Amino acid sequence: MRYIRMGNSGLKLTEVTFGSALTIGTENLNQEYADKMIAQAWDLGIRSFDVSNNYGMGAAERLVGKALQRYPHEEYVVSTKGSWPVGETPYHRGLSRKHILWAFEESIKKMGLDYVDIYYAHRYDPETPMEEVVRTFNYLISSGRVRYWATSEWPVEALQECHEVCEKLGMEKPIIEQCIYSFAVRKAEKNGVKDFCDSHGVGMLGFSPLCQGLLTGKYRNGIPEGSRAAKSKQLQYDKTMNFYEQNKERIDKFLETCDIYGLRPTDVAIKWGIRKGIYPVLGASRPEQLTDTLKGLETEVSEDAWISFEEI
């Protein structure tokens, strides 16, 4: 597993980050399950772990935090996020200093950690002035409980403003933008975010690199038993098949092209983001899936095949 430097910062992450939305703390609330998943990721060489305060409404932070306590914190990177609504009032959402300082304290309490390596402004909040956001995340860094801050799914205009404010105030800039990115969903290449990150030294992580499982090819003959789409009621999440409907042509052509070149779709999907410099934040509902997906890191894909994928 390679370590990749995140933009202009000094932080290096393993080329794959393991994330726990909809799995640890949502699909399964057992500590034993969380321990197994984290141990599998660790044994495969992953040293970057991603949660958020809204995954299982705190359960993912509790379970992943506990599982990670078996490992020395100086040997891995863990991130969590704030701003997603976690309650009914304006104090339970957004990027105000009032909410973020409360949400952060809740997060590290649940995780049982002294500090997190990366704290994300999970979504942009147009109702909080950028200077307040920058000062709040910088305060967390200077308090010693956050090493770096980052953004997720921010529009390019907000990233631009944020960088300008940081420059003006001489403050730490966010080092990573984490956005949705896979072969199927590539808006970061079109909405200016990738260009901005590349030209401003911001590292990029792409979540849902398998497009929630659709790019493994397992939905070719309908919804398979035990898959995320089949579990939509249990997970209270029903968007997987919408992703298929919205990107049907590209996904079908991707799978056909894999067949033509004799490639496993999962292997190509995991390599796609790495090739583009938008490093995967990968999910898995079982330990074997992690092993299966990471096999892709070793797979050779010819330049001819990449050209065909680029043409889709």
Ligand X SMILES: NC(=O)c1ccc[n+]([C@@H]2O[C@H](COP(=O)([O-])OP(=O)(O)OC[C@H]3O[C@@H](n4cnc5c(N)ncnc54)[C@H](OP(=O)(O)O)[C@@H]3O)[C@@H](O)[C@H]2O)c1
Residues with catalytic annotation? 55
Site membership for ligand X, residue 175 (CB under 6 A): no
Among 19, 58, 82, 94, indicate the residue that binds ligand X (CB under 6 A): 19
Site membership for ligand X, residue 28 (CB under 6 A): no
Strands 3-5 and 12-14, bridge-based pairing: antiparallel
Site membership for ligand X, residue 152 (CB under 6 A): yes
State which residue, 200 or 218, has the beta carbon closest to ligand X: 218
The DSSP letter of residue 24 is B
State which residue, 96 or 216, has the beta carbon closest to ligand X: 216
For residue 118, the cross-strand partners are 79, 148
Question: CB 40 → ligand X: shortest distance, Å?
Answer: 12
Enumerate helices (H) and strands (E) in the chain, giving the number of each: 12, 10
Which H helix or E strand runs over 17? strand 17-19
Query: 176-205: which residues touch ligand X (CB under 6 A)?
Result: 178
Residues 6+ apart with CB under 8 A from 62: 25, 110, 111
Among 66, 200, 218, 250, indicate the residue that binds ligand X (CB under 6 A): 218
CA 301 – CA 41 distance, rounded (Å):
24
Site membership for ligand X, residue 292 (CB under 6 A): yes
Residue closest to ligand X, measured at CB = 19
Question: CB 87 → ligand X: shortest distance, Å?
Answer: 18
Question: CB 255 → ligand X: shortest distance, Å?
Answer: 13
State which residue, 18 or 196, has the beta carbon closest to ligand X: 18
Query: What tokens were used for 46?
Result: 């992953």
Site membership for ligand X, residue 67 (CB under 6 A): no
Site membership for ligand X, residue 293 (CB under 6 A): yes
Question: Which is nearest to 283 in space by CA: 202, 206, 188, 176?
Answer: 206
State which residue, 240 or 257, has the beta carbon closest to ligand X: 240
Residue 10 neighbours by CB distance under 10 Å: 9
Output the 3-class SS for 159-182: HHHHHHHHHHHCCCCCCEEEEECC
Q: In this structure, is the dihedral angle defined by the CA atoms of residues 207, 227, 36 and 267, taken in order, positive or negative?
A: negative
* Span near ligand X by CB under 6 A; candidates 108-116, 166-174, 281-289, 304-312: 281-289
The binding site for ligand X (CB under 6 A) comprises 19-23, 50, 152-153, 178, 207-213, 216, 218, 227-228, 231, 266, 281-285, 289, 292-293
